[in-house]
Structure 1
Amino acid sequence: MATRSFTSRRELEQHSFPSAVALLVPLGAILLQALLPRPFPRLAILDLPLIVTIFFAVSRRNPVAGTLTGAAIGLLQDALTAQPIGVNGMAKSVIGYIAASIGIQVDVENLTTRIFINFGFFLINSFLLFLINRRLLGLTNFHIYWGHEFIRAAINTVVALPIFYLLDNTKRTE
């Protein structure tokens, strides 16, 4: 008679990373995000910290860890940019939580899934930033041009795929 295992998918495929990777990759993404647009203004369209937040959240498959990772990355990003402190922290916390929750349910190693997840999360991030700036901060002059945001989401998705591939090589299965 066949026996059933009651181990959840999350427990089977939860990944961890070496401490150096878990610390240096987000810091590198934040520093590149803060420094690259100065000499190369066109690179301001990229959101490397969001790419890293999504990757670590879906890989760890732990909503609490995803939320904390998003909060830490977002707050550090706010500290190095002209954003009010907490704007990116709040948005990336929500993204980290949702990404980790989806990572539990869906095969996030699949290329098609990664494309949809990244594209969707970039649009959600734009919407969250809009809500935070317009509703919480009361900045009535903050506008989003959704055509630009779709292009931005597509470009960031294309950039995210090779980054995900490179970071996949650093995973340790628990």
Structure 2
Amino acid sequence: MERFDDLKKSLKDIINKNDSTPTAVEVSENRNSILSLALKPAIDMGIHVIIEENCDFSVVSITEMEFYRIISNIVNNAIKAMNGKGIIIAKAYEYLGNVIVRIENNGPRIPEQHLNDIFKVGFTTKENSDQSHGYGLSIVKDLVESHNGKIYVKSSDVVTEFKIVFPIKNFV
């Protein structure tokens, strides 16, 4: 209960932009989980992180390394967009025969005209004269879809959310 009281105080401080807030907040039973490991760079950058993991990823047909690549790619893009400030909330849970992973951040909005393009190979909003940007989210989409999953994105002035849905193996 003390951890949740600390979390409530920290969230109030974040909302009130109190400078006494610790550099990061994490709620997770397992600090070695794939979500926790993939979000560690955000914590290290001082971004506030909340993790709620209520599922077993072994029930989906994706390797831990592939899952880590998916999550870390989305998180790394969020870190760059947020300039080291803000909140990332990552939730994973089982629902109706699927594992759902939601990654939300309160960074800048993805413009409406870019939402349909962000998963295309080579698409980037960064300076790209050396052609080194624009591949991460297309790789994410390919990995998700190669395991019969789906990925969705929506963005507003308040939150950008990536939602990944993987079917549970042998769900009857």
Provide TM-score, normalisation by structure 1. 0.31
Q: Relative contact order: is structure 1 or structure 2 higher (C-alpha 8 Å, sep ≥ 6)?
A: 1
Provide TM-score, normalisation by structure 2. 0.31
The structure with the greater share of residues assigned to strand is: 2
